[in-house]
Amino acid sequence: MKKLVKICGMKDPTNIVEVARLSPNWMGFIFYEKSPRFVGNDFVMPVIPHTIDKVGVFVNETSSEILRFSEKHSLSFIQLHGDESVQQLIELKKYNLKIIKAFRIDAEFDFDFAIDYQPHVDYFLFDTKGKKYGGNNASFDWTLLKKYNQKVPFLLSGGLNSNNLTNVSALEDMNCAGFDFNSGVEHSPGIKNLKSVKDIMNYLEASILNS
């Protein structure tokens, strides 16, 4: 099955348009003030092809603010990357939002924790547990994903780049829907390296995972 490609942490208008020309499936925009990739409260979304889904990334934000940004920027998905409760997801789903719930993974993570979220999400996202809520530019031990046996498809995140992507064959028999790229394909926070983005997209296109 063809894997989804999400390029996250987009910030600069010119860079956004350049990356959009490479036709990733999703582009992510971070609405979290403590992130160096925070788009800012006055952000104006550039025009990008309707074939690319826009994902708004939020960390422990109020539902009212999530809804406000979702409407303002015509977001296709919202990604909850903090410690959001199941109850908040239930509340947001009333507005027919498509939801990605992120979890930060280390050797101690219990995947059963995600069970209660399962009925209220479209995807899970598994990122590396680090000092920050995301963008730590580090990967986790992907063999931990063998413990995940739920039906909700997941996106893999955490320092993905053209070097460690060669190991994705380890995910062949897992319910991995795609890959989330951020710090691993950047010149600097929020500015994507177009060659790196092209390289990972070309690699995935030819990968056994897309067969």
Over the stretch 165-208, which tens digit does the pLDDT of each residue have?
877 766 776 889 999 999 999 999 999 999 999 999 998 888 75
Q: What are phi and psi of 127, to 5 degrees?
A: -120, 170
Q: What are phi and psi of 149, to 5 degrees?
A: -130, 25
- Tell how far CA 131 is from the center of its chain: 18
| Separation CA 99–CA 122 (nearest Å) | 5
pLDDT score of 24: 97
Residue ranges of the chain whose pLDDT lies below 50 = none
pLDDT of residue 193: 97
pLDDT for 148: 94
pLDDT in the model for residue 136: 58
Residue 130 is predicted with a pLDDT of: 64
Amino acid occupying residue 100: I
pLDDT at 42: 92
Residue 209's pLDDT is what? Answer: 59
> What is the Cα 140 distance to its own chain's centre?
15
Q: How far apart are CA 21 and CA 154, in angstroms?
A: 25
Residue 46: domain span: 4-210
In what helix (H) or strand (E) does residue 80 lie, and over which residues does it extend? strand 77-80
DSSP annotation of 161 reads -
The pLDDT assigned to 174 comes to: 83
Eight-state DSSP code of residue 151: S
Domain tally, the chain: 1
